[in-house]
Amino acid sequence: MAPADGNQDVLAAAGSDTIFNITSAIFANANSATWNSDTDNYVNVPPGAASFDVPGDGNTPEFTLAPTPNGSSQGKTALKNSADAGDGRIDIARSSSPRSTSDPASFEYYGFARDGVAWSSSSTGAGANLTLTLTQLRDIYRGTITNWSEVGGADAAIKLYLPQVGSGTLSFFTNTVLGFDPATISGLTINRFQENDGTSIPDADRATAIAPYSDAQWIAQGNGVESDKRADFTVNKLTGAGSDGDQVTGSAGSYAPAFADTYLGSRVVYHVLDNRTPAYDQAKRAVGFDEGDDASTASPLCGGALAGLITQYGFKTISGDNGLSCTLS
């Protein structure tokens, strides 16, 4: 890990909703850590806010984001634009989706935890207590299956929901779990909601809605670590996708992930850096590592010191090379 540079840098992260809260916890740790001897200020920009003021430092005056980047794609675009301009505004992108072919070569993806993406439905609605096969889930989002009664539920038309455009969860769910984008199917009505927020689905639709949901977010909300936005939605079993059992285990206050790493909906989540940004080395001190680092020289996040925090927020820890708890891609 690079040494402190002696400057009081402000480092801002933007993007994914899924890892917003855990990144806030990681940054709180960094801002109070003894290794942060020059008191760098790690600032986590909330997704989809109407506006947010980012403090200034010696490189970048205070500025306002209005609105803030909402989702992985917008976070990575903000990082690229900042690196292109050399303005030091955005230093880290939060991403719940992996590297894209459209990313600049200067992007570095530091994977730090594993999440699962499940299908969800209301615990009191037409799709309550159901197990779907992967084929059934895909047929629902193709519009081939249109009523919950066709998969063992109550007689009610299924309301299709997907996260907001630009969401990493949306990209992962459509590209990997479904294998297609339902929004491209002519005549199919797709409704949008703010990812991992059941309360953003209108009351009138909740009893019949189906939507993807991050297991980690559901767990953290159910355990009281984050605001509970589940609105009685549950994360449900999906068979034929590499992990036929429950998505989560436990009860309120002690939920934990139960999906296998082989589950089709299993994904790594990332902090993305651009090696062209002015504070690149200082960003890496909080969320990354250098070539040749081991657990004692990498950032605390990548050296395993924050494993308890990762678990607390509903994620599974991962293993990298050289004893690290992060990967680089």
Amino acid letter, 14 = A
Classify strands 10-15 and 92-95 as parallel, antiparallel or unpaired.
parallel
Q: Could you tell me what percent of the chain has a pLDDT over 70? A: 100
Tell which residue, 243, 70, 237, 264, has the closest CA to residue 168. 70
- Please give the Cα distance from 208 to 240 (Å, whole number): 24
Q: Global pTM?
A: 0.95
pLDDT score for 2 = 76
Asked if pLDDT for residue 250 goes beyond 80, the answer is yes
Question: Where does the pLDDT of residue 141 fall: very low under 50, low under 70, confident under 90, or very high at 90 and above?
Answer: very high
Contact 223, 253 (CB under 8 A): yes
Q: Could you tell me what percent of the chain has a pLDDT over 90? A: 97
Summary mean pLDDT of the chain: 97
Tell which residue, 244, 266, 242, has the closest CA to residue 315. 266
Asked if pLDDT for residue 3 goes beyond 90, the answer is no
Domain with CATH 3.40.190.10 in the chain: 10-113+268-328, 115-257
Asked if pLDDT for residue 199 goes beyond 80, the answer is yes
CATH level 3 topology of 10-113+268-328: D-Maltodextrin-Binding Protein; domain 2 (3.40.190)
Compute the average pLDDT of residues 276-292: 97
CATH class of 115-257: alpha beta
Six token digits for residue 315: 């994620």
